[in-house]
Amino acid sequence: MIDISVSNVMARGVETITGDETAAGVARRFAGEQIGSLVVVDPDSGTLTGIVTESDIIQQVATNGDMETVPVSTFMSAPVVTIESTEPIHAAADVMKRHSIRRLPVVDSGQLVGIVTTTNLTHYLPKLRNTILRERGTNQNR
């Protein structure tokens, strides 16, 4: 059971936004909903076009961007690195490390089904340890 899939740790009901929203609007949603990213979708097709994170907003502050007018589409990360829900969590961790990112939208057959973050994976760590210890105990009793 060490190779559990992304579907077991991801958050479902991922929050989305359109590219014409402003940096200040994103900041208000981050603060209000206590989230650290929003997946950017095309309002007509629903296609995933990018992702905007806390770091992107910080970058706007650091470069004196006009928070109330600068649209998400100009500073979001695109294209988005994604993963399938059936992939094992260690693969998600590998992808995050390789791309230096902390959040991975989960896409199955072109459909956005969730998001997995370093926080989700960290919260799973103690459970993984318990599974291993239990397994060891079982082995010793054989």
| Residues engaged in binding a copy of itself (CB under 8 A) | 2-3, 23-24, 27-28, 30-32, 36, 54-55, 57-59, 61-63, 67, 89-90, 93-94, 96-97, 102, 117-119, 121-123, 125-126, 128-129, 132-133, 139
Indicate the residue among 110 and 125 with the shorter CB distance to a copy of itself. 125
Q: Minimum CB separation from a copy of itself for residue 108, in Å?
A: 22
CB of 110 to a copy of itself, least distance (A): 26
Q: Which is nearer to a copy of itself, 110 or 137 (CB)?
A: 137
| CA-wise closest residue to 117 among 53, 28, 72 | 53
